[in-house]
A = this chain, B = another copy of it.
Amino acid sequence: MAKRIEGVLSPVVTPFRADLSPDPDRFARHCKWLMRSGCSGLAVFGTNSEANSMSVEEKLVLLDALVSGGVPASALMPGTGCCALTDSVKLTREAVRMGCGGVLMLPPFYYKGVSDEGLYRNYAEVIERVGDDRLRVYLYHIPPVSQVPITLALIDRLLGKFPGIVAGAKDSSGDWANTKAMLDAFKDRGFDVFAGSEVFLLDNMRAGGKGCITATGNVNPGAIDRVFRNWGSPEADKLQAGITATRKIVQKLPMIPALKAIVAHFANDPQWRSMRPPLTELTQAEESGLITELKASGFSMPGI
């Protein structure tokens, strides 16, 4: 049985070329920097990856580039939950075939107000069609964006039917009470809970969670990893305060273009600023304000 992913995962931002096509080389370079710099895993194709702005085929090309480029598949937790059942099955099947450590599955998010029965059937169909014991499904709860929540009742039913396959969740609700409720209900049933922001990392570890999958992991992986590794130490609260402060600077602006602006600046690679519609890049004024404030706080990206 493969060891499960724990620690700090980055939902990796996706670089686009001038023609808006995804750039596998820049992507692999950033992924390797993240793995050298504190990430235990990479939640490629997350919300912060503009993943839903890419086709299934574009995602498969990027995933293949990572694995064939030497990023360990066991550290990958690609997002594979699409609106279309058949797209979710295709992506998930390929992820398992490539040996990915897990998949992070959004619910189908076009229809709103859908029933737990409908969501259960969606996840069950994907799991049964993939039909592979190596599959590890992490449920992706991000109601502010998807508008389709993953309830505790749904988790309970899925865990009951697919123990070992349904492996955990990322909670991006921003509501610590919900994360805590997930932990209390399921952490002793082989269900690994990742906070959706490093702001909750220390709380999550103290309550039995397994780490965090966080946007800012793209730019601040080392410091966030130090909180993960030292959560039981006397310095934990101080370390947590440091990463929370950095997060608060970044999240004053729209998160995804802000992350790309930071990477572009510190890697001295302007092409990183490119966004696929419907998202747009920061203004120059926004970017220079952000970089100035980050530098004043002592922030850096060593080795990028």
User: Residues on A close to B: CB < 8 A?
Assistant: 20, 47, 52-56, 58, 83-87, 90, 107-112, 114-115, 117-119, 121-122, 125, 144-148, 275-280
Report the bound CA distance from A84 to B14 in whole Å.
Answer: 14
Query: Given A55-B90, A112-B147, A118-B277, list of 4 further CB < 8 A pairs?
Result: A52-B83, A109-B109, A109-B110, A112-B145
CB distance from A158 to the nearest CB of B (A): 13
Known: A112-B147, A125-B20. A86 touches B54 (CB 8 A): yes
B84 touches A278 (CB 8 A): no
A-B pairs, top 9 by smallest CB distance, nearest first, are A118-B278, A122-B277, A52-B110, A121-B277, A52-B83, A114-B278, A55-B86, A108-B278, A118-B280
CB distance from A65 to the nearest CB of B (A): 17
Chain B residues, Cβ within 8 Å of A112: 144-145, 147
Q: When the two chains form the complex, which single residue of B53, B87, B145, B147 contacts A85, counting CB atoms closer than 8 Å?
A: B53
Chain B residues, Cβ within 8 Å of A114: 278-279
Chain B residues, Cβ within 8 Å of A278: 107-108, 111, 114-115, 118-119, 121-122, 148
Using CB atoms, name the residue of chain B closest to A86: B55
Report the bound CA distance from A110 to B145 in whole Å.
Answer: 7
A86 touches B58 (CB 8 A): yes
Chain B residues, Cβ within 8 Å of A52: 83-84, 108, 110-111
Report the bound CA distance from A225 to B7 in whole Å.
Answer: 61
Q: Can you report 8 A-B residue pairs in the complex whose CB atoms are below 8 A from each other?
A: A52-B84, A55-B86, A55-B90, A85-B276, A112-B147, A114-B279, A118-B275, A118-B280
Using CB atoms, name the residue of chain B closest to A90: B55
Q: When the two chains form the complex, which single residue of B83, B86, B280 contacts A121, counting CB atoms closer than 8 Å?
A: B280
Chain B residues, Cβ within 8 Å of A125: 20, 277
Report the bound CA distance from A56 to B58 in whole Å.
Answer: 13
Report the bound CA distance from A114 to B111 in whole Å.
Answer: 19
Chain B residues, Cβ within 8 Å of A20: 85, 125
Chain B residues, Cβ within 8 Å of A148: 278
B84 touches A53 (CB 8 A): yes
Chain B residues, Cβ within 8 Å of A276: 85
Chain B residues, Cβ within 8 Å of A144: 112
Report the bound CA distance from A108 to B275 in whole Å.
Answer: 14
